Structure 1
Amino acid sequence: MQQIAKIKQDKSIRPRLIWACLSVALLVSAIYVTVSYRLTADITVRSELKAMGHITSLVSNELSQVKDTDEVDSTLNEILLSAVNNPAFITVTTPAQQWHKNLLISSAKRSTLLQLVAEAEDNAEPIEVDGNTFLWQQHKIGQHKIGQYQITFVQQTQALDITLEFVAKRLLVTSIIVFWIAVWLALTLASLIARRAEQVNESLAYIATHDSLTGLPNRLYLIELLENSLGPTTDATNTPVDEGCLLIIDLDRFKEVNDSFGYAAGDTLLKEIARRVSVLIRAPAELIRTGGDEFFIWAPDYTIEQAKTLSLEIVNSCNYPTLINGLTVNSGASIGISHYPSQANDTAGLIVCADTAMHKAKAMRSGWQVYDNKKIADYKDILQLRAELSDALAQQQIILYYQPKVDLATGEVTGAEALCRWQHPRLGLLGPGEFIDLIEHSGKVQEFGRYIIASAAAQAVQWYSDGLLVPIAINLSPYNLLDPGLADFIGETLNRYQIPPQFIEIELTENETCINIDYIQSALAQIRELGVSLAIDDFGTGMSSLAYLSELRVNVLKIDRAFICDLTTNQGHRAIIAAAVTLSQSFGCDMVAEGVETQEQARLLYEMGCRAAQGFLFARPMPAKAFRGLLSQQKPQFTDAF
């Protein structure tokens, strides 16, 4: 696969560099011309002025030899013709007479030049007339035979023309050299910059598409990979596949490892899992880490059966203990599998299907599951539901239904279990099985847990103020126990509503309480100190409950419905229930049977020593108003149930 999310290069860098270097070359040439011109012109002017000074001296010497004024004119003419090549004139002025001798200059121009010379301050000041430049020399001579006189020598200079010719010849060669150097420099710099940009681009692309911890590709890479694999692409090196499987791997107890042993231990575990899984897959399959404890595998050309085989190998590998800082950690993993194109034909669909299957695998503790919802389009509903979760909490669409707990001896309602429902504006009333997984994996689980606690407390205080003394049990996810402020929030809620703590009960799924006994014990101890009752839900389904039960010090054990449904026919389940009753009595706990649906089940439970139950035999979960009506009955509510 070619570079992912390639950083754009500036294709105009080469011509821009060429223009920049040529501009510098032009500037250098201009400076060279200016300096050379001025320098050469100054030198030439000085040279001409020096020569004119010699001529003026020559005139002065010759005039000193003349015997009368008649010889002045011929002397000037002789000197001018023999010593001067450029247009010029010499004027000799005495108090009584003035002599002029012109060479290629008109009398009118001579008069103009004489006037300008008279106005000039010194000999170094050139004179401009009709676009021509003239240099001049003027000397005053003392008393001679012809009297006191002044010599004025004006000559048109060729210095600028000579200079221009001098500079032009050298400028041509210099400019060619400078411009070639400029182009070469521009091309060299452009090549170096392009090479450096390519290196930086590769580095940035790698950083953008790879996980810094494990070195694996990340989510950006995954999306690009799937887009190229599932449909037409402009990259000729990528060919769409006919089929393939997407696997999502989620570590079962990674959060607990982080909280118990620190983030460094969690990072070590992630790197070890990445190493193990990388060994198991073969190209063209690719392992990707998208963040947290979640990994993806895109396996092009894999069938579902091949994906199942790979998933089994990965689960077994993840179940193998990992030694971290001298401690043995067993993370486990749940894997969801989706298949292209039979289950989804686009990137979003494949990811949602695999994510749904992974959550099912986690709930069933089956290791891996293949997406098999009854409707292939379900994943689109899941996507929309996930997007609507924020509105559900903000608009109080999550409501509570209540199922009564009944005293099997009297038929009276002794408590209620709060069960959440989503009053969806489009889909109607949704049960928890349709959205709880979405909440637990949306980052809103703690917000959701606090919302449920506050809602149940508000209802409890309303019933309490009406004289209806009914404790409410609230189901909390193990993820809620990872909320460091949970106990403080419960305490603040009790104070805000002025409700006795014994009217609130916290229920935890028994299997989840065994993930990290130290952390769970600490979290539950804080809640217990508030006076709130604690219950273990689905008791009997976990593997470690007997070892940890004495440590957790709970108030209520709720026997799972799995043991109740065939109570009348399954001797083994009756034995388990009897043992659970004895166990609860030994630890001073109350016992509640869940899922009671027949009078015979209720009778047998009572005979075995179970004194409380809930289930469809008594009532289905109902809105608060209906439950309020049930509580308002004068006689015991369910005396006819058994």
Structure 2
Amino acid sequence: MLVAGLPVLAAALAVLVRALRRPDDRGAWLALGIAVAVQAVGAVWLAWPGGGSNFPAPADGVLLAFFPAVFAAALLFARRRLVRINAALWLDAAIGALGAAAIVTQVLGEAADRATGGGWPSVVALLYPMFDVMLVVMVLVAVTLRGWRVSPVWLLLGVGLLAHVAADVGYASAGFAGQQRPLWVPVLGLLSPLLIAAAALLPALQPRRVALVGWRTLITPSVLTLVAGGLLVADHFNNASTAAVLLAAATLVAALLRMALTFVENTALHHSRALALTDELTGLANRRAFHERLRAELTGEGRLAVAMVDLDRFKDLNDTLGHHAGDALLVKLGERLNHTVGDAGLVARLGGDEFALLLPGANLAHAADIGRQIGAALQAPFEVDGLEVVMDASVGAALYPEHGTTASELLQRADVAMYQAKDARTGFQGYDPSRDRHSRERLQLIAELRHALERDELVLHYQPKVNLSTGLVDGVEALVRWQHPVHGLRGPGAFLPHAEHTALMRPLTLHVLETALSQLAAWRADGLELHMAVNLAVQNLLDLRTPGQIARALDKHGVPPHSLTLEVTESLMLHDPQRAGEVLADLSQLGVGLALDDFGTGYSSLEHLKRLPVNELKIDKSFVMAMDRDPADRAIVASTAALGRSLGLRVVAEGVESHASASVLAAIGCDLAQGFHYSPPVPADQLPALVRAARDAQLGVARLT
């Protein structure tokens, strides 16, 4: 008998070793190892001479300990795989236990009494089949919760436990009938621990989290509740045992509690869903509700419009009166939008001051009419904190199916149209693909541009800056080009406007700076003492790390700071004037030159000249190109040059395309000029010849032919 128990002990040892060596599900496998070990000990004890002479024997207590250990392992497995172990699960377990006890008591109660004489031995005899039924229920529940997708580990575990149940059934059947156990009973009893050990030796898989929702969770409690009810009905016609009736009644009580808990959970779920679909501030539908309704509408055949509404200058209101005033305004705005749209569509607040409208059956004309009605509704002042506040809004609309066929496409394109309306200050704008800077083609271009940076496809051309007093080339401006492998050399207009609104612009600017400084160092080593001008992007201008990065680049290439001029446009200042001022101050302390580019085309130019540490003023080419023919342009250039000189700034004119313009610029006191009259931007290897020719002739730079 001891020899027969050795395979079971070996299986127990294998499971325990797995639990100790591998951390995943360690507690569960330790419980399974204990279960297999007590099975081996109980079987050997029972087979030992005198161990099974009486029933129940002490060995039965050891054998019965197998079941609590397995149930403990199941609970530990469940803790890692179930999203939440709630009260419903415990009630289901109680229904399973009570239902199993009622079934076994009714079916096997009399046979157990006859075989054991009743009393305590009968109870012990019934514990085996009760636990076995619970074990079968547990395996079936585990399988149904996983959707019948069973991995090899769980397949071996399930078959091993069912083999144990089958062995118990064979053993109990023979015992109740007073017959010899058939051969397959000990075979299954030996196979069960071996299968469990085999499961322990398989590689572990990442546990898949399962939520206790859906119809599968109700199968077991429903079936056992029906069985318990059936037992009570059968007792009316044919008296059942008292114990079976009491257990069936307890099962029904647990089922009623489970039903009540389900009702409470469903009520709470319905309330939570309502909250989840409602904007807390305005009471309108929120982003999730809007997406659900839009996706539902898209399953139909009709057309529809999606509109985005965004308040103009809402940030100013928040900054002036506080966020509580902004919230009060949004509530009132939501009411007006809801009244304007009415039953014809859905109004939702997506976040901040951004609202969305869903207009089933609407065409562009109807959407535009709604936009005009919204504009009219906003003309009446809002009363906020005792003040009358007038707000404007920008509305953009996209149509299904003309502008998109999915919810994400329609929302994105309505958003693009809304920003087009905001930029143009038109109030309403329908989506126009030709004006969409966020198109698929743009995304593809940005992806190609990112690869171009990695493959060093970006090259620099350099446009000379001519000293109008001496006719010599004092410096150059670095201008980026893209040597595209398919489309050839592409100018900055083909890609920079698209890159300016992405995170790619910052590394692109640093790449241009590094390339320009490397070339400048090479020219200086060759005897060309030039200044280099490089345009600075807004992303770099607002990055406090930029001064340090430029200092390291200058040191790396051995270029003195005064040989570098960084050009910034007035429009860049509008993003964050304070942060931009801090970065420019640090750059000024570093010793690099700072130029205000495209002067005259931005906002608050005089304020920038007074406040910013710039030492160069670049007059925009839109005033320079026609100044020899247009007196107004000539007057603007002259007054700007005079202003720059009075402030001690070097004045540079760009866009010089004629000798007449160059003569006028020299006469009015501009310091430097650049343009096609002197030379277009040229590759680095062509510039030295131009510079040396101008220096030798002292007559300016010869034009390229």
Q: How does 1:606-621 map onto structure 2 within 5 Å?
A: 606-621=666-681
SS of alignment partner, residue 581 of structure 1: helix
CA change 1:546–1:246 in 2 (3 A) is same
Question: Could you tell me how far apart the structure 2 residues matched to 1:269 and 1:447 are?
Answer: 40
Offset at residue 22 of structure 1 (A) = 4.0
Aligned partner letter, 2:364: T
Question: Could you tell me how far apart the structure 1 residues matched to 2:101 and 2:512 are?
Answer: 78
Question: Could you tell me how far apart the structure 2 residues matched to 1:436 and 1:269 are?
Answer: 40
SS of alignment partner, residue 529 of structure 1: helix
CA change 1:226–1:192 in 2 (3 A) is closer
Aligned partner letter, 2:468: L
CA change 1:588–1:396 in 2 (3 A) is same
Offset at residue 576 of structure 1 (A) = 1.8
SS of alignment partner, residue 483 of structure 1: coil
Tell me the residue number matched to 1:448.
Answer: 508
Are 2:309 and 2:355, in contact at CA under 8 Å, matched by a contact in 1?
Answer: yes
Offset at residue 494 of structure 1 (A) = 1.0
Question: Could you tell me how far apart the structure 2 residues matched to 1:558 and 1:308 are?
Answer: 46
Are 2:303 and 2:399, in contact at CA under 8 Å, matched by a contact in 1?
Answer: no
Tell me the residue number matched to 1:170.
Answer: 242
Question: Could you tell me how far apart the structure 1 residues matched to 2:314 and 2:263 are?
Answer: 52
Are 1:422 and 1:431, in contact at CA under 8 Å, matched by a contact in 2?
Answer: yes
Tell me the residue number matched to 2:98.
Answer: 25
Q: How does 1:198-347 map onto structure 2 within 5 Å?
A: 198=270, 206=277, 227-229=295-297, 231=298, 233=299, 239=300, 242-244=303-305, 246-247=307-308, 278=334, 281=337, 282-283=340-341, 284=345, 286=347, 289=350, 301=362, 303=364, 307=368, 310=371, 341-344=401-404
Which consecutive unaligned segments of at least 5 residues does structure 2 have? Answer: 1-81, 123-174, 180-238
CA change 1:227–1:625 in 2 (3 A) is farther
Offset at residue 579 of structure 1 (A) = 1.3
SS of alignment partner, residue 588 of structure 1: coil
Tell me the residue number matched to 2:596.
Answer: 536
Give per-residue Cα distances to partners, 1:407-466, cap 9 Å, x unaligned: 234443222222233334444444433433443333334333333322322222222222
1:519 to 579, 590, 593: 579
Tell me the residue number matched to 2:525.
Answer: 465
Give per-residue Cα distances to partners, 1:507-533, cap 9 Å, x unaligned: 111233255544332221100111110
1:506 equivalent to 2:579? Answer no
SS of alignment partner, residue 680 of structure 2: coil
1:180 to 252, 274, 277: 252
Offset at residue 535 of structure 1 (A) = 0.5
Are 2:565 and 2:593, in contact at CA under 8 Å, matched by a contact in 1?
Answer: yes
Offset at residue 246 of structure 1 (A) = 4.7
Q: How does 1:345-424 map onto structure 2 within 5 Å?
A: 350=410, 372=432, 374=434, 379-424=439-484
More divergent stretch after superposition (469-478 vs 355-364): 355-364
More divergent stretch after superposition (631-640 vs 182-191): 631-640
Offset at residue 352 of structure 1 (A) = 6.2
Question: Could you tell me how far apart the structure 2 residues matched to 1:446 and 1:635 are?
Answer: 41
Are 2:88 and 2:261, in contact at CA under 8 Å, matched by a contact in 1?
Answer: no
- TM-score by length of structure 1 reads 0.61
SS of alignment partner, residue 538 of structure 2: coil
1:576 to 636, 652, 662: 636
1:558 to 618, 625, 628: 618
Offset at residue 379 of structure 1 (A) = 2.6
Question: Could you tell me how far apart the structure 2 residues matched to 1:616 and 1:560 are?
Answer: 15
> What is the aligned-residue RMSD (CA, Å)?
5.4
Tell me the residue number matched to 1:592.
Answer: 652
- TM-score by length of structure 2 reads 0.56
SS of alignment partner, residue 479 of structure 1: helix
Aligned partner letter, 1:469: E
Are 1:352 and 1:382, in contact at CA under 8 Å, matched by a contact in 2?
Answer: no
Aligned partner letter, 1:423: Q
Are 1:14 and 1:187, in contact at CA under 8 Å, matched by a contact in 2?
Answer: no
Are 1:561 and 1:593, in contact at CA under 8 Å, matched by a contact in 2?
Answer: yes
Aligned partner letter, 1:23: G
Question: Could you tell me how far apart the structure 1 residues matched to 2:272 and 2:452 are?
Answer: 45
Identity among equivalent positions (%) equals 30
Are 2:347 and 2:355, in contact at CA under 8 Å, matched by a contact in 1?
Answer: no
CA change 1:499–1:346 in 2 (3 A) is same
Offset at residue 590 of structure 1 (A) = 1.0
Offset at residue 216 of structure 1 (A) = 8.5
Are 2:101 and 2:244, in contact at CA under 8 Å, matched by a contact in 1?
Answer: no
Offset at residue 635 of structure 1 (A) = 4.1
Offset at residue 574 of structure 1 (A) = 2.2
- Which structure carries more relative contact order (alpha carbon 8 Å, separation 6+)? 1
Question: Could you tell me how far apart the structure 2 residues matched to 1:462 and 1:580 are?
Answer: 35
More divergent stretch after superposition (462-471 vs 31-40): 31-40
Q: How does 1:129-168 map onto structure 2 within 5 Å?
A: none
CA change 1:353–1:522 in 2 (3 A) is same
Question: Could you tell me how far apart the structure 2 residues matched to 1:490 and 1:463 are?
Answer: 19
Are 1:243 and 1:303, in contact at CA under 8 Å, matched by a contact in 2?
Answer: no
Aligned partner letter, 2:242: R
SS of alignment partner, residue 414 of structure 1: strand
Question: Could you tell me how far apart the structure 2 residues matched to 1:371 and 1:524 are?
Answer: 39
Question: Could you tell me how far apart the structure 2 residues matched to 1:249 and 1:510 are?
Answer: 26
CA change 1:246–1:376 in 2 (3 A) is same
Question: Could you tell me how far apart the structure 2 residues matched to 1:244 and 1:42 are?
Answer: 78
Question: Could you tell me how far apart the structure 1 residues matched to 2:377 and 2:535 are?
Answer: 32
Question: Could you tell me how far apart the structure 1 residues matched to 2:317 and 2:549 are?
Answer: 25
Quick check: which has more Rg, 1 or 2?
1
Aligned partner letter, 2:245: V
Question: Could you tell me how far apart the structure 2 residues matched to 1:402 and 1:380 are?
Answer: 32
Give per-residue Cα distances to partners, 1:156-185, cap 9 Å, x unaligned: xxxxxxxxxxx9632343244234334434
Are 1:349 and 1:380, in contact at CA under 8 Å, matched by a contact in 2?
Answer: no
Are 1:508 and 1:535, in contact at CA under 8 Å, matched by a contact in 2?
Answer: yes
CA change 1:367–1:187 in 2 (3 A) is closer
Question: Could you tell me how far apart the structure 2 residues matched to 1:596 and 1:400 are?
Answer: 21
Count of residues paired in the alignment? 492
CA change 1:414–1:342 in 2 (3 A) is farther
Offset at residue 489 of structure 1 (A) = 0.9
Aligned partner letter, 1:399: V
Aligned partner letter, 1:414: D
Question: Which has more helix, going by share of residues?
Answer: 2
CA change 1:362–1:437 in 2 (3 A) is farther
Are 1:243 and 1:340, in contact at CA under 8 Å, matched by a contact in 2?
Answer: yes
SS of alignment partner, residue 439 of structure 2: helix
Which consecutive unaligned segments of at least 5 residues does structure 1 have? Answer: 1-8, 46-127, 133-166, 234-238, 325-329
Question: Could you tell me how far apart the structure 2 residues matched to 1:380 and 1:187 are?
Answer: 53
Offset at residue 225 of structure 1 (A) = 6.0
CA change 1:225–1:398 in 2 (3 A) is farther
Question: Could you tell me how far apart the structure 1 residues matched to 2:391 and 2:497 are?
Answer: 20
